[in-house]
Amino acid sequence: MKTKGKGISALIFSVVVILIGLTAYIGAYGLEIGGYRVKSFGDVIKRGLDLQGGISILSEVKDTNISKGDKESKIERTMGLLEARINPNGVSEIAITKEGTNRIRIDIPGEFDLKKVEDKVTKPGTLKFEGPDKSEILTGNDVKDATAVLDQNGKPIITLKLNTEGAKKFAAATAKFIGQPIAIYMDDKLVTNPTVNAVITDGNAIIEGSKSFEEAKADANMIKSGALPVTLTTVSTKVVGPTLGATALPNSIKAGLIGIGIVLLFMMIYYRVPGILADIALILYAVLVLIAFVLLDVTLSLSGIAAFLLTVGMAVDANILIFERMKEELKSGKSIRSALDAGFHRALSSILDSQITTIIAGVVLYWLGSGPVKGFALTLIIGCIINLFTALTVTRFLVKLAANMGWFNKEWTIGTFWVVGIKRG
């Protein structure tokens, strides 16, 4: 029975290690099977401005005669309109965040035309609905909302909602120009040119003719962006060149790999078999953190990489606490199994204290910080949460399997230069 249990533990251990190794390999290099490609972490994780270059603009609300409550709502709307204006197709990895009470930061990785972006940010924008006789029908101030949807036949359309004043103007215009086109311009650029098919009196219209849903979405965002509700002025700009960004990423990865490699080697030499098991759990930890980045759509920056490496150190520290407690139990004369259980139990409070206090600090940094500070804090929080799982669950599981396989029956296997008289069992 004992041999059978040892064999089952060996099988489970082998399967777990193979799965962790395979996941890590796919995450690092990707995989292609039957024409279907699983992308590597490097392909799917978004990179921040400092890793791939781009533009960062800090803008400030110029208006001073706005009440506090009204200002917050207008700034939130302005951020949404800037998103639609700068990223009409929704495919660019831009970040628009509020800083303080009246500033907005816009980070656009991969973009290097500063004047073009500044114009989009600071220019109030002029949206105009123009009749076939060149008369102005509506402006951006008359538009309440514009949304791209699919109709009952699956065709892309834009639903247009006007405010009360705009509805009155549009009712008169659609009655006058029925059967004729009404052109929609943004800063003298034609957005769309739909034909009036009916008189619209309730301020709710449908714009047809989009070739695809992406085109309808881009046009809807352009119409909705209209005029910004506040006036913005540029406070500061920063351009990170593509060469600097391209250099930062490989150097950061190299530094991270060297650091993690030294840690893995130290654990293996100093703690022997438990160190090897901790290394396996640490590799799984790194993979899970990167998977979390993908699922949570995290944009990785240099500060995020720094936080990730910091949490790797914390993950190692959790394992060291466990192993040192185990050695203390072995010194007291307990059997290996008893020492394993007692080691995890006695290290639990210290691990929880360190991780939870770090999570609290991360939450505070995320709540009060901005830009790189937020990225650092988010990575720190994710790392600590996953660390609790790998240290208290995965490492313990692997250690128990190793104990069942008899890997701890000799002193040298656990690096116990200071432990004598180990009791087996």
CATH number at residue 70: 3.30.70.3400
Q: Are residues 326 and 376 in the same domain?
A: yes
Q: What is the pLDDT of residues 121-141, one digit of tens each?
A: 766 667 889 998 888 898 877
Long-range contacts of 367-371 (CB under 8 A, 24+ apart): 370/97, 370/98, 370/99, 370/105, 371/97, 371/99, 371/105, 371/107
Which residue, among 160, 168, 387, 176, has the nearest Cα to 284 in the 3D structure? 387
Residues 252 and 313 occupy one common structural domain: yes
Domain that holds residue 172: 127-225
- For the stretch 191-218, pLDDT in tens is 888 898 888 888 898 888 888 888 888 7
My answer on whether 257 and 336 are in the same domain is yes
pLDDT tens figures, 176-193: 999 999 998 876 778 888
Same domain, 235 and 348: no
Let me know whether 283 and 327 are in one domain.
yes
Q: Does a structural domain hold residue 421?
A: no
Q: Give the number of other CB atoms < 10 A from CB of residue 266.
A: 14
CATH code of 170's domain: 3.30.1360.200
Is residue 280 within 8 A of residue 407, CB to CB? The reply is no
Residue 425 lies inside a defined structural domain of this protein = no
CA 264 to chain centre: 27
Together in a domain, 68 and 111: yes
Strand order in the sheet with 204-207: 143-150, 156-162, 204-207
pLDDT in tens, 321-371: 888 888 787 777 777 778 778 888 888 888 888 889 999 999 998 887 766
40-44, 106-110, 117-121, range with the lowest pLDDT: 117-121
Cα 222–226–232 angle (5° rounding)?
115
Q: Is residue 262 domain-resident?
A: yes
Q: Tell me the per-residue pLDDT of 257-288, one tens digit each, with 9 for 90 and over.
A: 888 888 889 888 888 888 888 899 999 999 99
Per-residue pLDDT tens for 2-60? 555 688 888 999 999 999 999 999 988 888 887 788 888 888 887 777 777 788 888 88
* Locus of tokens 């995890």: 344
Q: Do 269 and 362 lie in a common domain?
A: yes
pLDDT of residue 369: 72
Residue 419 lies in a domain: no
H-type helices in 332-421, by residue range?
336-368, 372-389, 395-404
**Tokens 């804090």, located at residue:** 377
Is the pTM higher than 0.75? The answer reads no
Same domain, yes or no: 39 and 156: no
- Does 40 lie in the same domain as 60? no
Asked if 106 and 139 sit in the same domain, the reply is: no
20-31 pLDDT, tens per residue?
999 999 988 888
DSSP string, 303-336: HHHHHHHHHHHHHHHHHHHHHHHHHHHHHTT-BH
User: Is pLDDT at 379 greater than 50 in this prediction?
Assistant: yes
Q: Are residues 265 and 376 in the same domain?
A: yes
Task: Check whether residue 39 and residue 67 sit in a common domain.
Answer: no
Residue 222 pLDDT grade (very low, low, confident, very high; cuts 50, 70, 90): confident
348, burial (CB in 10 Å: exposed 0-12, middle 13-18, buried 19+) = middle
Q: Is residue 250 part of a domain?
A: yes
**3-state secondary structure (DSSP) of residue 379:** helix
Lowest mean per-residue pLDDT among 82-96, 143-157, 170-184: 82-96
Q: What is the pLDDT of residues 386-402, one digit of tens each?
A: 998 988 889 889 988 88
143-150 and 95-99: which strand pairing?
unpaired
For residue 22, the model assigns a pLDDT of 94
Q: For residue 295, what is the domain's CATH number?
A: 1.20.1640.10
How far lies 16's CA from each of 13, 81, 167, 280, in Å?
A: 5, 49, 65, 10
Q: Which ranges in 112-241 belong to alpha helices (H)?
A: 114-122, 164-176, 213-225
What b/e readout covers 219-255, taking b as 16+ CB neighbours within 10 angstroms?
bbbbbbbbebbbebeeeeeebbeeeebeebbeebeee
Question: Which of 184, 207, 240 is the last residue in one of the domains?
Answer: 240
Would you say residue 1 has pLDDT above 50? no
CA atoms within 13 A on the CB side of 394: 24
C-alpha distances out from residue 311 to 161, 176, 260, Å: 49, 67, 11
Cα gap 362→378, rounded to integer Å: 7
- Specify the pLDDT at position 421: 44
Q: Give the chain's domain count.
A: 3
Residue 290 lies in a domain: yes
